[in-house]
Amino acid sequence: MSGPYRKDTGRFVVTELKARAFWRRQDLRDRPFASMADVANELERAGLKVFAVHCDAVECEARPAAIWEILTGCPCNLAMDEVYGTEPEERGAGLRRLQELGILQTG
């Protein structure tokens, strides 16, 4: 079984199971998870490129730390690039983007 990072296409696959587990950001708690289109909308709103939306997965750019931060609203403390073999990414970038958009409050 292959992992979520598709090195040949540069895409990262967020499955419905992962998305449901990550759907914890404070402003998302009042809005129940409905579909992968919701996930795609949140990722795009925060600036990630979404390539495809399926009924059970979203294919997006390979930034697993940003995906975690955007959907959970929490800092990513793992070196996701090492875990998944993706290009290095700056931790905290997803949270900063949410703050810039006024979705998360600082402090």
Reduce the DSSP state of residue 99 to 3 states and report it: helix
Cβ 68 vs Cβ 42: under 8 Å: no
Residue 91 confidence (pLDDT) above 50? yes
**Mean pLDDT estimate for the chain:** 91
**Predicted structure pTM score:** 0.91
47: left (phi over 0), alpha (psi -120 to 50) or beta: left
More confident residue, 41 or 30: 41
Cβ 16 vs Cβ 57: under 8 Å: yes
Q: Show me where the domains of the chain are located.
A: 5-100
Residues 52-73, mean pLDDT to the nearest whole number: 96
Residue 67 confidence (pLDDT) above 70? yes
Could you give the strand order of the β-sheet that contains 11-15, starting from the edge strand earlier in sequence?
5-6, 11-15, 57-61, 50-53
In 3D, which of 22, 2, 4 has the Cα closest to residue 80? 4
Residues 3-20, mean pLDDT to the nearest whole number: 93
Residue 50 confidence (pLDDT) above 50? yes
